[in-house]
Chain A
Amino acid sequence: MAVQPAMPRSWRRETKPHKFCPGCGHGIALRVLGQAIDQLNIQDRMVFGCDIGCSLLAWDFFNVDTVQTHHGRTTPVIVGLKRARPELVCVAYMGDGGGYAIGAQHLVSAAMRNDRITVILINNTQYAMTGGQMAPTTLPGQKTETSPYGRDPDMTGHPTQGPEMVATITPESAYVARGTISRPKQLHKMVTRALENQIAGRGFSFVEILATCPTNWRTNAKNTWKFIEETMPTHFKVGELKVPEAFQAAAGGEGARADG
């Protein structure tokens, strides 16, 4: 991009440029989150939790109170915090390993309890920080360091359908969506709704974000884009899976605008 959009107010200038690899999807996801924070004017009453793996690089990303932990335990830290201080807007930000493997019980349990928190989960199809191992989200046939001949679904299962699972176990007041960094406008709407749903005290809010990892995918710009635009959506359907009625009523017939 030749012209950089203005930096969100909630971003911490002192820690920019950020520490993510070139082409990494985290930067776009966190830009979208930053814009949503600005727009909803919640910077001074927000707690941002990030996890181990690449998400931990965000520990000083925002001018927002932040806590960093690991193993998907960001979810219970944020749950404990939110229950103690319901007036705060609390976000748990993690990767697919944290949310769907080692910390899956926390995601499942928080969703089932309909905890009034927002979980944002980055799906880049592998464990990135640790050097590109197979993740619950790795695609069939996809080569990683621990599936060097390609993931064999017969032996290691199919990619986790996270939002689909969360949508199944949450009540109607929950908000569940899968967005992608390749459609920032749509993603912005999803992240905003996921925060608004918490602010309204309605229910659990979950957004999985398809994100790029050229470093571990070992792809050039063109193939990186092709993987996230074409390949990933064939396994992970992008869109809103569960939208509380309040949003549907407010949106009127503007559904089409969602596609950025």
Chain B
Amino acid sequence: MSEKPITGEKRVFMTGNEVVAWAAVAAQAEIMYGYPITPQNEIMHYWTRLAPKFNKTFLQTEDELSAGFTTIGGVLAGKKTFTATAGPGTVLMQEPLAMAEMMRLPVVVVVMQRGGPSTATVIYSQQEVTLTTFGGNGEGFRIVYSTATHQDLFDYTIKAFNIAWKYRMPTFVLGDGYQAKMREPLTMYDPEERGVELVKPEPYVGLPGMPGEERPPGHYRNTYNTEEELNEVVNDHVKAYEQIQNELPEHDEFGTENADLVVVAHGVVARATKQAVEALRAEGLNIGYFRPITLRPMPDQALRAMADRTKKILVVESAQGQLARLLKESLYGKTVEIVPLFRPGVGVTPEEVMARSRELVA
């Protein structure tokens, strides 16, 4: 057996892609299957460098379809398996992910958003929110963590493996090109040393005993013959997801009590909004901050409670309303005014958020 990759608390300064590779190793992931696409490439680069040291497996597949389906194969074999992708790769990945949804397979996918639609830029956006939360020909039976800092990337990559295997649901770590490529400090640690239990994977196939004689064979299918048969399966998923909706939503907020305005953003944009809100509050303005961490399921209850306490919401994102759509669904029936600040495909600066917020509370 290889030694523990990380012992004690380790302060490091690295890129987000490197953080993900280390976090996957710390989470005791065993296999990565992947296909090159910017800006996630360095996850594979670092994983392949770490792989021989820690007895890990990697295969560069022929495309993202294959990366997704081999990841499914790895999971069926009972190994913690993950992949990473972006942009047009996330599009192709929807086919295997729909299978993972249907069969409730604990695949872990890291999405480093780039510009869209289509090839667009290799740089950055928050335009893969819809695809990550509700892509595929399904119902969005997925768990999506949107990270803002490198510490988040490390913490939530570890968490993604645990949640995926505990709830048997495809789980996503949603980052972006900025996070992928930027360097900032974070603390790496061994989760078990911190008392975080790592959920053990279990094989779906190749169990002991003669199938059909000593044990039932594992027959895993996506195909259903009748509408009713399918409906029953999907209803089971709906029930399972209700539990997830009760147990998993996460968010971060401050200053939302009787606020004149609450600024809502996720991911890296939440850094700019946090910075802006802190500065405006220092000026004495009554403005709050809300960041959904899970985008699927959305923190509905916390959002609805927040909406009751504020006059207006400013929703800020590097997309044309993909977060806003999720937000409106969460806030259905609430009359609070929602004002957009959409910057599709480009970064958002604190200055922009401050300027717009000032206008709204003036």
Complex contact flag A–B (Cβ < 8 Å):
yes
Q: Which residues of A contact B207 (CB under 8 A)?
A: 65
Complex: A29 Cα to B104 Cα, angstroms: 31
Over the window 46-59 of chain A, the binary record of Cβ atoms lying under 8 Å from chain B Cβ atoms (1 yes, 0 no) is: 01000010001001
Over the window 201-218 of chain B, the binary record of Cβ atoms lying under 8 Å from chain A Cβ atoms (1 yes, 0 no) is: 001111101111100011
Query: Taking the complex as formed, is A105 at the interface, i.e. its CB lies under 8 A from any CB of chain B?
Result: yes
Query: Taking the complex as formed, is B118 at the interface, i.e. its CB lies under 8 A from any CB of chain A?
Result: no
Say yes or no: A84 contacts B218, CB within 8 Å.
no
Say yes or no: B61 contacts A109, CB within 8 Å.
yes
Over the window 84-103 of chain A, the binary record of Cβ atoms lying under 8 Å from chain B Cβ atoms (1 yes, 0 no) is: 11011000000000000000
Identify which of residues 58-117 in chain A touch chain B, using a CB-to-CB cut-off of 8 Å.
59-60, 62-71, 73, 76-85, 87-88, 105-106, 108-109
Say yes or no: A65 contacts B77, CB within 8 Å.
no
Query: Taking the complex as formed, is A12 at the interface, i.e. its CB lies under 8 A from any CB of chain B?
Result: yes
**Nearest chain B residue, comparing its CB with the CB of A57:** B223
Query: Taking the complex as formed, is A145 at the interface, i.e. its CB lies under 8 A from any CB of chain B?
Result: no
Identify which of residues 61-108 in chain B touch chain A, using a CB-to-CB cut-off of 8 Å.
61-63, 65-66, 69-74, 76-79, 81, 95-96, 99
**In the complex with contacts A65-B217, A73-B95, A105-B63, A83-B223 CB distance below 8 A:** no
Query: Taking the complex as formed, is B11 at the interface, i.e. its CB lies under 8 A from any CB of chain A?
Result: no
**Nearest chain B residue, comparing its CB with the CB of A14:** B212
Q: Which residues of A contact B70 (CB under 8 A)?
A: 76-77, 79-80, 83
Contact of B78 among A44, A52, A63, A85 (CB under 8 A): A85
Complex: A69 Cα to B95 Cα, angstroms: 10
Complex: A108 Cα to B62 Cα, angstroms: 9
Say yes or no: B211 contacts A64, CB within 8 Å.
yes
Q: Which residues of A contact B66 (CB under 8 A)?
A: 73, 76, 79, 105-106, 109
**In the complex with contacts A47-B205, A67-B205, A80-B222 CB distance below 8 A:** no
Q: Which residues of B contact A16 (CB under 8 A)?
A: none
Say yes or no: B59 contacts A73, CB within 8 Å.
no
Query: Taking the complex as formed, is A226 at the interface, i.e. its CB lies under 8 A from any CB of chain B?
Result: no
Nearest chain A CB to B262 CB, angstrom units = 44
Nearest chain B CB to A101 CB, angstrom units = 14
Query: Taking the complex as formed, is B334 at the interface, i.e. its CB lies under 8 A from any CB of chain A?
Result: no
Say yes or no: B77 contacts A60, CB within 8 Å.
no
Complex: A69 Cα to B76 Cα, angstroms: 13
**In the complex with contacts A77-B69, A83-B31, A83-B57, A44-B218 CB distance below 8 A:** no
Over the window 10-46 of chain B, the binary record of Cβ atoms lying under 8 Å from chain A Cβ atoms (1 yes, 0 no) is: 0000000000000000000011010000000000000
Say yes or no: B217 contacts A81, CB within 8 Å.
no
Say yes or no: A63 contacts B76, CB within 8 Å.
no
Query: Taking the complex as formed, is B4 at the interface, i.e. its CB lies under 8 A from any CB of chain A?
Result: no
Say yes or no: B222 contacts A66, CB within 8 Å.
no
Nearest chain B CB to A239 CB, angstrom units = 29
Say yes or no: A68 contacts B223, CB within 8 Å.
yes
Q: Which residues of B contact A65 (CB under 8 A)?
A: 204-207, 211, 217-219
Over the window 189-207 of chain B, the binary record of Cβ atoms lying under 8 Å from chain A Cβ atoms (1 yes, 0 no) is: 0000000000000011111
Nearest chain A CB to B9 CB, angstrom units = 32
Say yes or no: B221 contacts A59, CB within 8 Å.
yes
Q: Which residues of A contact B73 (CB under 8 A)?
A: 76-84
Say yes or no: A84 contacts B217, CB within 8 Å.
no
Q: Which residues of B contact A78 (CB under 8 A)?
A: 73
**From A63, A82, A105, residue with most partner B Cβ within 10 Å:** A63
Complex: A60 Cα to B206 Cα, angstroms: 16
Complex: A62 Cα to B216 Cα, angstroms: 11
Say yes or no: B65 contacts A88, CB within 8 Å.
no
Say yes or no: B33 contacts A80, CB within 8 Å.
yes
Say yes or no: B206 contacts A85, CB within 8 Å.
yes
Query: Taking the complex as formed, is A43 at the interface, i.e. its CB lies under 8 A from any CB of chain B?
Result: yes
Q: Which residues of B contact A109 (CB under 8 A)?
A: 61-62, 66
Say yes or no: A80 contacts B71, CB within 8 Å.
yes
Say yes or no: B76 contacts A81, CB within 8 Å.
yes
Complex: A164 Cα to B99 Cα, angstroms: 32
Say yes or no: B223 contacts A80, CB within 8 Å.
no
Complex: A214 Cα to B206 Cα, angstroms: 36
Query: Taking the complex as formed, is B220 at the interface, i.e. its CB lies under 8 A from any CB of chain A?
Result: yes
Q: Which residues of B contact A82 (CB under 8 A)?
A: 73
Q: Which residues of A contact B99 (CB under 8 A)?
A: 69, 73
**In the complex with contacts A70-B222, A71-B95, A84-B79, A63-B212 CB distance below 8 A:** yes
Nearest chain B CB to A207 CB, angstrom units = 21
Complex: A73 Cα to B69 Cα, angstroms: 7
Q: With contacts A65-B217, A79-B70, A105-B65 known, what are 5 further pairs, Cβ within 8 A?
A: A68-B220, A71-B95, A73-B66, A80-B81, A81-B74
Closest 9 CB pairs of A and B: A80-B73, A63-B212, A80-B70, A84-B77, A81-B73, A109-B62, A76-B69, A65-B205, A76-B66
A interface list, Cβ under 8 A from B: 10, 12, 43-45, 47, 52, 56, 59-60, 62-71, 73, 76-85, 87-88, 105-106, 108-109
B interface list, Cβ under 8 A from A: 30-31, 33, 57, 59, 61-63, 65-66, 69-74, 76-79, 81, 95-96, 99, 203-207, 209-213, 217-223
